[in-house]
Each structure stands twice: as structure tokens, then as C-alpha cells.
Amino acid sequence: MTNPLIIALDFPTEADALAFLAPFNNVPLTVKVGMELFYAAGLDFIRTLQDRGFGVFLDLKLHDIPNTVYSAMKVIGQLGIQYTTVHALGGQTMIEAASRGLADGAAHAGILAPDLLVITQLTSTDQTTMNRDLQIDGDLVQSVVHLAAMADQAGADGVVCSALEVPDLQARNLQLKYITPGIRLAASNDDQKRVVTPGRARQLGSTGLVIGRPITQADHPLAAYHRFQTEWEAAK
């Protein structure tokens, strides 16, 4: 089974990412490659991670017209990775196009398509940001529920949201995985606004966690990873 703890490799270079991963040699990790590292290290680095046995979550958060997203996802579908992302705010037709693109790319390569995860409201967004900056009226949780239901309709495999919203999503009986960032062992003061501990996230129904700085910036990353894992396991 895929490791439910996904580490966000938010590093500026391939060398930094590989140095971080050195102690994790025998750990069956799924690692998330986001915009910074992908733009710096590209597809060759994705293959390096796969050669070393890591599962890959390619997080490029596509948001464009359906035809452009379809074509990009057709390429991504051929990579043999585990997860990739689009923004819900691209709308249902764009999400459907993304799903088709992944399926067509994977079929072309004769492999399984990655899970398509849809970003609902970012965990750095709070109620005020959503209403004032994005000019989306109403309640943030209701917006996440609406976007997740749309993603489900469009054939997505999961959504990215705060663990705080998962109970409301489960109440809708959606056929989705709930991948939740904004995970912290204790209260923190960084840019994340909707924050949850790993144990609480599991109790709330998260399928998987995305964890970045609390592990990547720790003095002892492997020990930090084990603390998250222990809390996750204890919350069964």
C-alpha cells in the first residue's frame, strides 16, 4: 500500500533534495515534487526518484483551458507516477479534460494512470482571504464541499484540502481520497492557516498527509518523520 505520509520536497535543487533523502534509503516514501524543484530539476529528476524506489507525486497545480490541460496531462500520464494535481477553480470541464489526458497518456504508455487530485481551497487561504481577495462569497467549508463534489462528478480520484474539512466531505459520500497538507505537530506561526496534527488528521478521515517543512527543515529529518508516523499509527 502507498505510504499515507507524503513528504513535500520543497527544495531549490536536485542536490538538496537528494541530500535530504539520503537517510530515507530504505523507507518506502512517496515524495511530492512541486513547482520549485520541478522547474529546477525537470523530468530527469522524476526518473531518478523512481529509479531509487520512491513513489512520486508531481504537484504542478495545472489551471488552464481544458485543451491545454488535456495535452499536458497526456504527457504526465506517461510518467508512471502516483499523483498529480489541478486547481478546482479551472472548473468541471477542465477537470474532466485532465482526467481524460491522464488516462490517454497512461494507455499510450501501457501503464496505470496517476491519481488526479483536485486542489479545493488552499490551506493558506482563510475565510477572509476567500471572501475579500478571491471574491468568493459564503462559507469556506461550503466552498470546499462544493468544489470537491464537482471534482467527484468530473472523475477525479481525490481532493487536496485541510483535514478540518474532511468530515463535511465524508458526509456527502463522495468517492474521493482526502489528501491533507497543513500538518503540524504543534501550533506554528508560518503561512499555513488551516493546520492540524497528524493524529487528528487521521481521526478526521484524511487518507494521506502532505508534510513539508516540519520534516524537511528538521535538525533530524528521519526522526521527525518517525514522530509523524508514530502519531499517525497511534490514531488508528
User: Does residue 147 sit in helix, strand or coil?
Assistant: helix
Q: Distance between CA 9 and CA 65 in Å, rounded?
A: 28
**Applying CB under 6 A, does 59 fall inside the site for ligand OMP?**
yes
Q: Which is nearer to ligand OMP, 59 or 157 (CB)?
A: 59
- Active site annotation includes 236: no
- Active site annotation includes 64: yes
- Give least dist CB 108 to ligand OMP, A: 26
User: Does residue 31 sit in helix, strand or coil?
Assistant: strand
Q: At 65, list the grid cell.
A: 483551458
How many residues contact ligand OMP, by CB under 6 A?
17
Beta bridge mates, 7:
31, 211
* 10 has binding-site annotation: yes
* 193 has binding-site annotation: no
* 61 has binding-site annotation: yes
- Active site annotation includes 157: no
| Touching ligand OMP, residues 112-131 (CB under 6 A) | 119, 122-123
Q: Which is nearer to ligand OMP, 146 or 213 (CB)?
A: 213
| Catalytic member of 16, 44, 51, 64 | 64
Q: Which is nearer to ligand OMP, 79 or 183 (CB)?
A: 183
| Touching ligand OMP, residues 128-187 (CB under 6 A) | 160, 181-182
| Per-residue b or e along 203-214, where b marks 16 or more CB atoms closer than 10 Å to that residue's CB | ebebbbbbbbeb
**Applying CB under 6 A, does 192 fall inside the site for ligand OMP?**
yes
**Applying CB under 6 A, does 98 fall inside the site for ligand OMP?**
no
Residue 133 per-residue DSSP state: I
| Catalytic member of 16, 61, 104, 193 | 61
**Packing angle between helix 66-76 and helix 92-109, nearest 10 degrees?**
30
Beta bridge mates, 160:
119, 179
**Applying CB under 6 A, does 208 fall inside the site for ligand OMP?**
no
Rg (CA), the chain: 17
Provide the CA 81 distance to its chain's centre, in angstroms: 13
Cβ-contact 123, 91 below 8 angstroms: no
Cβ-contact 29, 221 below 8 angstroms: no
Which residue of 94, 211, 228, 232 would you call a contact of ligand OMP, by CB under 6 A? 211
* 91 has binding-site annotation: no
Interface contacts to ligand OMP, rule CB under 6 A: 8, 10, 34, 59, 85, 119, 122-123, 160, 181-182, 192, 210-214
What is the set of active-site residues?
59, 61, 64
